[in-house]
A and B are shown apart, each in its own frame.
Chain A
Amino acid sequence: MAILVNPSTKVLIQGITGSFGARHTQLSLAYGSQVVAGVTPGKGGQLFENKVPIFDTVSEAAKSSGATVSAIFVPPPFAADAILEAVDAELDLVICITEGIPVIDMVRVKRALQGRKTRLIGPNCPGLVTPGEGKDSHGGCRIGIAPGYIHKKGNIGVVSRSGTLTYEAVWQLTCRGVGQSTCVGIGGDPVNGTSHLDIIKLFNDDPETHGIIMIGEIGGSAEEEAAEWIQKNCKKPIAGFIAGTSAPPGRRMGHAGAIVSGGKGTAAAKIDAFRAAGIGIAETPSVMAETLLKMM
């Protein structure tokens, strides 16, 4: 089953003709994902790589191609608009890869999402992968910028704010012969569409997910919120890692959301919350998979 997307999910790409969007569309196609349409205003009617039709608007692209999911690669000044265009087209899921969107734009987007059917993942995220059955997990659904080949089809869910730490966890699992159901990067911004908790709930309900790795980092209290729910409701083993134990307070550590401010959002508080919820703590990022496998 996996969560959110499966190998037959039809995907459209907003910003398919930009260099970043084009490169990752090629990689998704090579991975065997169903990229069925692209959107670049003004380039409607053209073909991407001689096979993927390009449209001027998202609603037109969705209607013609049957896509239910969009990946956004447009530059930051236009990203909020792109997200809301996809919401207006009533897609099920929008994954915004773009990094550097103004916070106030996301505050408005988040408010506009209320009461709509569309789920947003990101922004500033690597996207998600549901591995396929082929060689190097080929034939799965890769949306975003994660390397596809590091995955392996299986039963572990991975959720993280960070791209490279997700890859690290996935690779540790794959190297031990353990596959993944779905791997989700929720993004490093302070305002995002989908939280750790949202994903944990989906994993908890997914019969194909048997265990979870949850990777958090300093800033905000999304990890604590997830931990509280997990303590009461989660039936599956979870291993967790929090990045930023050594980060100085008041400094933004790369991600816009990774900052300890006013004494809040410290790694220590998050690790305490994980521990209290029965989440296995990976003492270092090298033992994320090992920590989970010991619990299973």
Chain B
Amino acid sequence: MNLHEFQAKQLLAQYGVAVPAGEVCSTPEQARDIAQKLFSHGEKMVVVKSQIHAGGRGKGTFKSGFQGGVKLCKTAEDVFEKAKAMIGQVLVTKQTGADGRLVSRLLVAAAPVIKKEIYLAVLLDRDSSRPLIMASTEGGVDIEEVAAHTPEKILKEIIDPVVGIMPYQARKLANALGFKGDLIGHATKMILGVYKTWWETDASMLEINPLCIIEGPDGKESLLAVDAKMSLDDNALYRHKNLQEMRDLGEEAPLEIEASKFSLNYIKLDGNIACLVNGAGLAMATMDIIQHFGGNPANFLDVGGGASKEQVTAAFKIILSDPNVKGILVNIFGGIMQCDIIATGIVAAVKETNLTLPLVVRLEGNNVALGKKILQESGLAVISADSMADGAKKVVQAVNH
């Protein structure tokens, strides 16, 4: 589950990580009030940030034509105007796809003068099966670019999960990042706090980019987490009631939400050949083989090991809600499941949804002969396939006709 920037910052602040003063709001009036408060506390500049689950907001464009999902403002009136142009509008960034995302909330926050930008992240290191802290002096830019071109600028510290993070590990990073004097202490505290946030919330990824050195009115330097990106381990949400409430259904594809109600694992893609498969690996491989034979998969869909009649019917309805779909490939390896039961489910689903699109079915496994017979005798125009390759070829051909 992904979190919004403002939610990540709320969590970070709870673990003692310094974040810019600010609040989230959903109307231009509220945005103006928050800005007024910040200006009255002596802030010179305030930033208005669209809250969506996608990066590239600053360089994004609203469908209304308004440029930029992140705006710096010098007056509360300006904040009001910018907020008015953003709230309720759809923002398109390089990560949202052409559909963009509706901006319903803004983060209005202090925007201090930044002296230097750092990158800091915590994630799972799959090679060592341990938590990994990644840091770089090259903050504020795409870290994948840094990793690709100047990998020596990425610092890594692996944490022993039994011991937990030790302060020396944070100091080592602070030192390697070039911090001096008081800032070593600030950075150490910040790294410890960010790690603790990651660990205690069961996060998958927590990225502070940029982490900024700023200069206060007294000329003293300090550190602030200016932007934050965070995702949580779905498998651990059961033990975090407070985090479950942070789920924003508005950010999820409606069909994916519908699918999750039936314990179906569905991911919408851009193609026109839908697939319905049991098992995640086989579902991925089915998409691959459709592509291999010149087709374009419309979705990933794993109906799981059980695949009841209700689930299969729900799966068909979800697939058919995608207007791009021009054909369907059902690929079931009925290892434990009986193919005749699955075939009965398919027949019922086809009838209930009044399916008119070409449907190719590949059944294999338990009671496969009976399963195929049920499909044949149903009177439905089901195209039967003998193997995955046969099924993929047939559905691609049917769609291209």
Question: What is A's interface to B at a CB cutoff of 8 Å?
Answer: 27, 76-77, 100-108, 110-112, 145-147, 149-150, 160-168, 171, 188, 190-191, 215, 217-222, 225, 241, 243-248, 251, 253-258, 262-263, 267, 283-287
Contact = CB atoms under 8 A, between A and B. Distances in A.
Given A111-B161, A145-B336, A247-B300, 14 more contacts: A76-B238, A102-B202, A102-B235, A107-B129, A164-B277, A164-B278, A168-B333, A191-B129, A243-B288, A246-B287, A246-B297, A247-B284, A254-B280, A285-B286
B290 interface: yes
Contacts of A166: 281
B165 interface: no
B341 interface: no
A-B complex: 7 closest residue pairs judged by Cβ atoms: A162-B281, A254-B280, A164-B279, A147-B335, A102-B236, A286-B389, A164-B282
Contacts of A246: 284, 287-288, 290-291, 297
B236 to A, nearest CB: 4
8 contacts: A107-B124, A219-B126, A221-B126, A254-B302, A258-B284, A262-B147, A284-B289, A286-B289
B130 interface: yes
Nearest to B159: A107
A149 B367 CA distance: 12
A217 B285 CA distance: 9
A165 B282 contact: yes
Contact of A263 (B127, B148, B390): B148
B381 interface: no
B281 A215 contact: yes
Interface of B: 124, 126-127, 129-131, 143-144, 147-148, 160-162, 199, 202, 204, 233, 235-236, 238-239, 265, 267, 269, 277-292, 297, 300, 302, 305, 333, 335-336, 364-366, 387-390, 392
Contact of A243 (B162, B233, B285): B285
Nearest to A221: B127
A85 to B, nearest CB: 18
A166 B280 CA distance: 12
Contacts of A221: 126-127
Given A162-B282, A164-B333, A284 B389 contact: yes
Contacts of B387: 286
A168 B305 contact: no
A104 B333 contact: no
A171 B388 contact: no
B143 to A, nearest CB: 8
Given A165-B279, A285-B289, A244 B284 contact: yes
- Residue among B144, B239, B289 facing the most chain A CB atoms (10 A cut-off): B289
Contacts of A257: 126
- Residue among A112, A146, A253, A285 facing the most chain B CB atoms (10 A cut-off): A285
A101 B283 CA distance: 21
